[in-house]
Amino acid sequence: MILDKIHQFNFPTTIRFGAGAIQELPAYLKANGLSRPLLVTDPVIADLPFFKAIVADLEAHHCSVIVFSDIHKNPVKSDVYKGTAVWDENSRDSVIGIGGGAALDVSRAIVLQVNHREDLFKYDDLIGGDVFVTNDVPHFITVPTTSGTGSEVGRSAIISDDVTHQKKILFSPKLMAKIVIADPVLTMDLPAHITAATGMDALTHNMEAFLAKNYHPLCDGIALEGIGLVRDALVKATLQPDLESRSKMLLASMMGAIAFQKGLGVVHSLAHPLSSLLDTHHGLANAVNIPYGMEFNIAGFEDRFKRMAKTLELKKEDGRAVVDYLFDLNAKLGIPHQLRDIGVSMEHIDTLADLAFADFAHPNNPKPVSREDFKALYLKAL
C-alpha cells in the first residue's frame, strides 16, 4: 500500500486520502472563498488534541471558527435543530463535519435544514421527501475520524425521532460533501473497542451490500474489495494499530458506504432498534447481530456466500464457514456473541421486533423478513 503520498479519488465526490491530508483544509477553504466554518463534531472528539489542533490551524489561517458538539451518540432531530440555531446565530458560510457517523449525520442534516426550514422529517426519503430538497445548501466538507459508517462519502443522514425512536433517512444528491478529507492519522488514537465496533460496521455494510437484492455489479465489486480489506486489516488495526492497517480500514469504510447505495438488509434492521431504544453503539449492535443475520440469509443464496468465503480466504467456501468466521472475528476483537451481554433482556424483545420490522433496511434484504423472523433472531442472539 502506498502510504508516502496523498491520493485523490473522484467517486464522484473528491476524496483526498492519505496521511497528512488534514493539513490541506485551510488552503481548501481559502481557495473556495470560505472563512467562517461551522465545525460539527461530537462532545468526545471536541476535547481531543487532534481536533483542537485542527481548530488552531484554521484560526492561524484567519478563519473564524465556531464549534457545535452538543449531539447524542445516536443523533436525534433536536440535535439538528440546535446545530441549525448555532448556524443562524453566528453567520457561517460552510459546514465541516468532523468525526464518526453521528457527527457526520448531524452535520449533513444541518446542511439540509439551513435552507429547508419545514419540519426536518418532511424530507424523509422513505415517504418521498427527497423531492422537497430543492434549494441550495451550504458548502459542505467531511472529515472522518473513524472507519465504520463511511458517512463522509454518502448522500444521506440517519436521524431518529426524539420520542418514537424511529430512524428517518434524509437523502439528496445535494447533501454529498464537496470534498472528503480522509486522513488515517486522525484514526490512530481511536480506542481498541471503538476501532473494533466501527470496523465491524464497515464489514456489515460491505457484506449486506453484496447480498442486497438489487442488481448493481459495480457495488458488488466494491463490496468484495472492502471485505478483503477488512479481512487484512481489522484485527491488526484493533490490537496492534499501524498506519497501514488504519489506512486500509478507512478505505474499507468508504467502500462500504459507496456499496450500500445498492441496499442493506436484515442485520441493519436488527441493529438500528438497539441504538434508538437502548442507545447501543451502532457498530457494536451490527457486530453482535451479523453472524445471526448472515446465517438467516444463507439458504437460497449459497453462491453469494461462496464468493464472500473466497474473498475471506476461508478453507471451506460456504455460508457456514462465513458465519463461523464472523463469530471467530468477534471473539478476536473482544466483542460478545450474545445480546444479553450488551444490555438486552427478554422484556425488550417485542419492542425491538416491532421497531426492526418497521425499519427501512430489510426491504433490500435478499429474502423477506417478517416480524416473527426478527423476534426469532433476537431470541437466538439473546
pLDDT tens digits along 253-306: 999 999 999 999 999 999 999 988 898 989 999 999 999 999 999 999 999 999
Asked if the model's pLDDT at residue 101 lies above 90, the reply is no
Asked if the model's pLDDT at residue 357 lies above 70, the reply is yes
In whole angstroms, what is the distance from residue 154 CA to residue 171 CA?
Answer: 9
Q: How many helices (H) and strands (E) does the chain have?
A: 13, 9
Strand 14-17 to strand 7-10: parallel, antiparallel, or no bridges (unpaired)? antiparallel
Q: Distance of CA 243 to CAs 4, 18, 34, 101, 146, Å? A: 11, 10, 31, 21, 13
Q: Mean of the pLDDT values across residues 22-49?
A: 96
User: Rounded to the nearest 5 degrees, what angle is found at the Cα of 214, between the Cα atoms of 210 and 220?
Assistant: 30
Q: Mean of the pLDDT values across residues 369-378?
A: 97
* pLDDT, tens digit, 9 for 90 and up, residues 219-232: 999 999 999 999 99
In whole angstroms, what is the distance from residue 26 CA to residue 209 CA?
Answer: 35
- List the domains of the chain with CATH numbers: 7-186 (3.40.50.1970), 191-381 (1.20.1090.10)
User: Rounded to the nearest 5 degrees, what angle is found at the Cα of 263, between the Cα atoms of 221 and 188?
Assistant: 70
Instruction: Give the pLDDT confidence score for residue 166 in this predicted structure.
Output: 81
Asked if the model's pLDDT at residue 381 lies above 70, the reply is yes
Q: Within 13 Å, how many C-alpha atoms sit on residue 125's CB side?
A: 17
Asked if the model's pLDDT at residue 1 lies above 80, the reply is no
Q: Mean of the pLDDT values across residues 193-221?
A: 96
% pLDDT > 90, the chain: 87
Q: Is 116 left (phi over 0), alpha (psi -120 to 50) or beta?
A: beta
Instruction: Give the pLDDT confidence score for residue 12 in this predicted structure.
Output: 81
Instruction: Locate all alpha helices (DSSP H) within the chain, ordered by sequence.
Output: 25-31, 49-60, 77-90, 101-114, 192-211, 217-239, 243-259, 266-278, 282-297, 302-311, 319-333, 349-358, 371-381
Instruction: Give the pLDDT confidence score for residue 2 in this predicted structure.
Output: 66
* pLDDT, tens digit, 9 for 90 and up, residues 298-330: 999 999 999 999 999 999 999 999 999 999 999
Q: Mean of the pLDDT values across residues 31-45?
A: 96
With beta carbons less than 8 A apart as the criterion, state whether 186 and 243 touch. no
% pLDDT > 70, the chain: 99
In whole angstroms, what is the distance from residue 198 CA to residue 207 CA?
Answer: 14
Instruction: Give the pLDDT confidence score for residue 279 in this predicted structure.
Output: 85
Q: How confident is the model at residue 126 (pLDDT cuts 50, 70, 90)?
A: confident
Mean pLDDT score across all residues of the chain: 94
Cell of 304: 453469494
pTM score, two decimals?
0.92
* pLDDT, tens digit, 9 for 90 and up, residues 75-96: 999 999 999 999 999 999 999 9
Q: Mean of the pLDDT values across residues 225-253?
A: 96
At residue 336, what is the residue type? P
Q: For residue 39, with 0-12 CB atoms within 10 Å meaning exposed, 13-18 middle and 19 or more buried, which class applies?
A: buried
Q: Mean of the pLDDT values across residues 136-153?
A: 94
Query: Which of 92, 172, 103, 171 is CA-nearest to residue 139?
Result: 92
Instruction: Locate all alpha helices (DSSP H) within 14-152, ordered by sequence.
Output: 25-31, 49-60, 77-90, 101-114
